Amino acid sequence: MVMETMSHSSTFLLPTIPPSVDPRPPLSYALIVLNQRLPKFAPLLWEHAAKLRLCADGGANRLYDDFPLFFPHQCPSEVRNRYKPDVIKGDMDSVRGDVLDFYKNMGTKILNKSEDQDTTDLHKCVTYIKDSTLDQEKSNLCILVAGALGGRFDHEMGNINVLYRFSTIRIVLLSDDCLIHLLPRTHQHEIHIQSSVEGPHCGLIPIGMPSGMTTTSGLEWDLNDTEMRFGGLVSTSNLVKQDKITVQSDSDLLWTISLKKK
């Protein structure tokens, strides 16, 4: 069976996204701001996320409190007026009243889903983006999630679970230190490394079920029809050795790569 190839590239971490032939048409980005320490490149993600910008519940506090800190020479209220989210969605147990009022007055859509205590605020936000995207646009959509890693472990695992629950949508979880996305088993994958901003440390991790056979190229420790499972081998502390990494597997894998400190 010939499998389609899916290309991945972290060009959203560059100041200007270079024109690319693959994927074509180019991706359109949405951003979700979570309630966690924001990566220093959060304003850059905001600029690239022309499609939609959302705050997951208490993520709105982070936008309000922390975005002005990225611009120490500018007036905080000017910064706040410049970065207006399209939507704040969640169960509203963390966003402060003053923050909600501020953005409501600016025209942000507020969606209170307090009746749903079975899905996370990130899940609720991804659902919003999914439902507001036409089917033919879904294949070019990429959702960037800022503040998804490095905090409470249950939240981190909940965030990773969202990658699996929406495995047909491109979603990238980001912190200052690394990014994570899913490599669905339905495709073979080409990962184009942006070496000015990412690498060399990387990992390929099967979560949920063992992967019977994975084959890679471009890594220091390539896999060759290799089995991975928790309790056995999982590929952590690997290194990227080439500009292009290829991955093919019989199960969904998480790809993670370190981000460079500037």
Ligand X SMILES: Cc1ncc(C[n+]2csc(CCO)c2C)c(N)n1
Q: Which residues bind ligand ATP (CB under 6 A)?
A: 34-36, 56-59, 90-91, 93-94, 120-122, 148, 151-152, 155-156, 158-159
**88 versus 247: smaller Cβ distance to ligand X:** 88
Applying CB under 6 A, among 120, 214, 248, 256 the residue interacting with ligand X is: 120
**Contact window for ligand X (CB under 6 A) among 15-23, 28-36, 116-124, 211-219:** 116-124
**152 versus 262: smaller Cβ distance to ligand ATP:** 152
| β-pair partners for 219 | 240
Q: How far is the CB of 49 from ligand X (least distance, A)?
A: 23
| 115 belongs to the binding site for ligand X (CB under 6 A) | no
Applying CB under 6 A, among 119, 139, 161, 258 the residue interacting with ligand X is: 119
Asked whether the beta carbons of 190 and 245 are under 8 A apart, the reply is: yes
**118 versus 135: smaller Cβ distance to ligand ATP:** 118
Total chain residues near ligand X (CB under 6 A)? 6
| 59 belongs to the binding site for ligand X (CB under 6 A) | no
**Contact window for ligand X (CB under 6 A) among 96-104, 119-127, 177-185, 194-202:** 119-127
Three-state SS letters, the chain? CCCCEEEEECHHHCCCCCCCCCCCCCCEEEEEECCCCCCCCHHHHHHHCCCEEEEECCHHHHHHHHHHHHCCCCCHHHHHHHCCCCEEEECCCCCCHHHHHHHHHHCCEEEECCCCCCCCHHHHHHHHHHHCCCHHHHCCEEEEEECCCCCCHHHHHHHHHHHHHCCCCEEEEECCCEEEEEECCCCEEEEECCCCCEEEEEEEECCCCCEEEEEEECECCCCCCEEECCCCCCEEEEEECCCEEEEEECCCEEEEEEECCC
Asked whether the beta carbons of 254 and 204 are under 8 A apart, the reply is: yes
Q: Which of residues 74-93 bind ligand X (CB under 6 A)?
A: 91
Inter-CA distances, 166 with 28, 97, 125, 153, 205, Å:
17, 31, 12, 20, 18
Q: Which does 136 bind (CB under 5 to 8 A by kind): ligand X, ligand ATP, none?
A: none
**94 versus 226: smaller Cβ distance to ligand X:** 94
Q: Which two tokens stand for residue 62?
A: 């982070």
**Contact window for ligand X (CB under 6 A) among 69-77, 117-125, 141-149, 249-257:** 117-125
**162 versus 257: smaller Cβ distance to ligand X:** 162
**35 versus 211: smaller Cβ distance to ligand ATP:** 35
**76 versus 158: smaller Cβ distance to ligand X:** 158
Q: Which does 159 bind (CB under 5 to 8 A by kind): ligand X, ligand ATP, none?
A: ligand ATP
Binding interface with ligand X (CB under 6 A): 91, 117-121
